Structure 1
Amino acid sequence: MLYRRRNARKQRTKLKGTEEWYLQPLRRALVSLTLVAFGVSFALLLVKFEYEPQMDSLTDTVLRDFVDNFNVSNESAIATNSCHVRFHNPQMYLCHIIPWGANFGDELGPAVTKEVLRKKYPNCGGVDDLPVLDLSKREKYNHFLPEICLFTVGSVFFLVRDNDHLWGTGSIDGQRQICQNEAKNLTVYSVRGPKTANLVKRWCRDKLHTPFRGISGISQELGFGTTGDPGFLVAHLFENEFKYDSAAAPLDYCVIPHYFNRKINDLKSVPKEQILSVQQSWQSMIKKMLRCKFIISSSLHGVILSESFGIPVRWLSRNNRVAPFKFHDYFESFGYRNATEIGSVSTVEEGVAMGPPAVLTEAVRQEQVSRILQTFPYALFTVAGSDATS
């Protein structure tokens, strides 16, 4: 009996030692967690007494800003969700091509198209989501790719392929054949000007749909408009977004050299601030242009945006790398202008000496805006929802 008791005592002692060995790490972890919890609680207590007033103030500010913003935008958010703009054809894109890494003029097409739709359907969403295809980043146009393009701003007629659509698009020169053999079933709403129209008439006649034939103001012979470059709409569409900054010192003149003219000798005497590179966004370009008392430009869209905003501009016509075709095409879209009337110059020095030319009158600008908008291809888009009204 005594032996059993002693043996049982030894077994209990042995088990107790084993238990303590097994639980020892857990006990240490529990103690550590308890200490950490105590430290955190103490820190929070300090924060409560020291910073609670500031935190309450910050919270109130954040909530107030949220409520204010919600109150301002809630109505438009609800309206936006009630209708949606998209292409009828899910394979269609707003197409452009951005050379040299950046070029403000070639960025304009999708921006202008989307803003026309926002103005037409102010209560609808979806415009920002319309797909855009930059052809410099992806080679469209073999017969195995499904994309269909809506081309707008730019001298990009040579890029069109089967089933594409064109609004205000121009040709880059009078020598290159447009509507190549593989390009058929094109829909032309308008082109930039009469010179491009003549090329379309010559090369594309049997490949066209002309949806505006019979519409007042549209050539019945051509069946599409020769209404000008849609880039001219920028000042009209974004009139509340770009204003002259009175705090910025005005510049006596600015030069917008075409990319191929960016190193010409004429620019050596021009202050750096007054040379506006085409390799920037269109928004940045406009903000800089609005500081200029007048502009000398060998960039077509430098000329077009200047005239859109009523800034005096002279065309710097000496440019061996860029044919004058597209400039004359644009000028003649007004129906009466030529190179003499717009005051072209062959050097920057000559332009500075001549000073600012007369600007287009407000009446002429508004008439051009109306003519360009008349041919906008609204039929390519569908608007679904309860607020889908024009």
Structure 2
Amino acid sequence: MSALSWLGVWVAGDNLLNSAAFQMAPIKLFWWKGIPNFGDVLSSLVVANVSGRKVTHAGPKGCDLVAVGSLLQVIRRNFSQAVEHRMKPFVWGTGLLHPVPTDFLPNVNVALVRGPVTAALLGVKTRQFGDPGLLTADLIDEIPSVQDRVALVPHHSQVDDPEIQALVRSEPALDLVDPRADALEVCRRIASSRHVIASSLHGLIVADAFGVPSTWLSPGEQSHLKYHDYAASVGRPLISPIEAHEVPGVLSSLKDGTELTYGDGIARARADLIETFPAHLRAAPDNTRAFAAGQR
């Protein structure tokens, strides 16, 4: 493309980003929809709340933004070469599952990544990190009172595992929370528990968002990278996960009702998320008020 053509795209894009029509249109957000999973659904809910705009699902090449999830492998596959005649999508709080080539970085705008492991693998120099799931508490007006139960939030691939099912039947104190259920209901169940045991990454993250102590349960064959990436972003100590057969032995010693030792890290990540959200994707003040009224 010639320099003159690029100038035309830039001017058109700048005018588009500042137009009332753009700010009223839904944000085109890419999130994973292959399998029902509350953590993925939270992406659309959090982005709508932070931006004051409606959100619609889009594929990676048609999106304005990618947020919650370990989706940078998918973004890399779609943006290893520049896509002409479109604005670069923004990455906000997204992470990696494994190392990938960094050839896609010139073709996207990185506002924020999930954690320092992702940043190091991409060669991104930053001290700001955060998973948008930490903003989940802002979605719920009335936080339920804490119940005397321990939420068990398995990875979506483990919900029907015979070992998990047998564990729940044998331990009345455990409340099995299906991550494939309604996202906000899952969050309420987590928020009202005295402790959370989770192999679901967002089971742990949402517990942190509500200040509920949590224990990492083995995610089976799932990569551990994303867990360590998130934990490092908030300064959370993360030892090896416990196995399902170890849960009965640790139930009596689980901490509850205590402040998280890394609460300052959570607060810092929340602030970084708000600060780095792409300004052009926020609704104008009048539009934000209209959006909020429509949500009531």
Bin for the TM-score computed over the shorter chain: 0.7 to 0.9
Kept in 2: contact 1:328–1:339 (CA 8 A): yes
| Match for residue 203 of structure 2 among 280, 302, 323 | 302
Kept in 2: contact 1:104–1:281 (CA 8 A): yes
Rate the CA distance shift 1:164–1:264 in 2: closer, same or farther, 3 A.
Answer: farther
Equivalent pairs: percent with the same residue? 24
Unpaired runs of 5+ in structure 1? 1-83, 119-126, 142-146, 202-221
Paired residue type of 1:199: L
Kept in 2: contact 1:86–1:383 (CA 8 A): no
Question: Is 1:312 aligned to residue 247 of structure 2?
Answer: no
Paired residue type of 2:214: V
Kept in 1: contact 2:200–2:219 (CA 8 A): no
Number of matched pairs: 253
Tell me the distance in 2 between the aligned counterparts of 1:148 and 1:243: 32
By relative contact order (CA 8 Å, sep 6+), the higher-ranking structure is: 2
Q: Tell me, what secondary structure is at the counterpart of 1:228?
A: coil
Superposed CA deviations along residues 317-366 of structure 1, whole A, max 9, x for unmatched, are x23321110000000012x43323xx842332344243126542554433
| Match for residue 270 of structure 1 among 141, 161, 168 | 168
Rate the CA distance shift 1:332–1:385 in 2: closer, same or farther, 3 A.
Answer: closer
Kept in 2: contact 1:197–1:226 (CA 8 A): no
Q: Tell me, what secondary structure is at the counterpart of 1:356?
A: coil
Q: Tell me, what secondary structure is at the counterpart of 1:131?
A: strand
Residue equivalent to 1:209? none
Rate the CA distance shift 1:386–1:242 in 2: closer, same or farther, 3 A.
Answer: closer
Residue equivalent to 1:97? 32
Q: Tell me, what secondary structure is at the counterpart of 1:270?
A: helix
Kept in 2: contact 1:104–1:278 (CA 8 A): yes
Question: Is 1:323 aligned to residue 231 of structure 2?
Answer: no
Q: Please show how residues 37-52 of structure 1 align to structure 2 within 5 Å.
A: none
Tell me the distance in 1 between the aligned counterparts of 2:120 and 2:287: 43
Paired residue type of 2:34: P
Residue equivalent to 1:25? none
| Match for residue 276 of structure 2 among 375, 380, 384 | 375
| Match for residue 229 of structure 1 among 131, 134, 149 | 131
| Offset, 1:283 | 0.7
Residue equivalent to 2:82? none
Tell me the distance in 1 between the aligned counterparts of 2:71 and 2:288: 35
Paired residue type of 2:47: T
Paired residue type of 1:302: G
Rate the CA distance shift 1:223–1:182 in 2: closer, same or farther, 3 A.
Answer: closer
Residue equivalent to 1:116? 50
Q: Please show how residues 5-16 of structure 1 align to structure 2 within 5 Å.
A: none
Tell me the distance in 2 between the aligned counterparts of 1:386 and 1:275: 40
Tell me the distance in 2 between the aligned counterparts of 1:387 and 1:352: 45
Paired residue type of 1:274: D
Q: Which has the larger radius of gyration?
A: 1
Kept in 2: contact 1:254–1:275 (CA 8 A): yes
Q: TM-score w.r.t. structure 1 length?
A: 0.57
Q: Tell me, what secondary structure is at the counterpart of 2:152?
A: strand
Paired residue type of 1:258: H
Kept in 2: contact 1:104–1:280 (CA 8 A): yes
Tell me the distance in 1 between the aligned counterparts of 2:26 and 2:192: 41
| Match for residue 95 of structure 2 among 138, 152, 170 | 170
Unpaired runs of 5+ in structure 2? 1-18, 80-87, 290-296
Kept in 2: contact 1:257–1:297 (CA 8 A): yes
| Offset, 1:190 | 0.7
Tell me the distance in 1 between the aligned counterparts of 2:69 and 2:104: 21
Rate the CA distance shift 1:85–1:330 in 2: closer, same or farther, 3 A.
Answer: farther
Kept in 1: contact 2:92–2:113 (CA 8 A): yes
Tell me the distance in 1 between the aligned counterparts of 2:185 and 2:21: 28
Question: Is 1:292 aligned to residue 193 of structure 2?
Answer: yes
Q: Tell me, what secondary structure is at the counterpart of 1:268?
A: helix
Q: CA RMSD in A?
A: 3.1
Paired residue type of 2:91: L
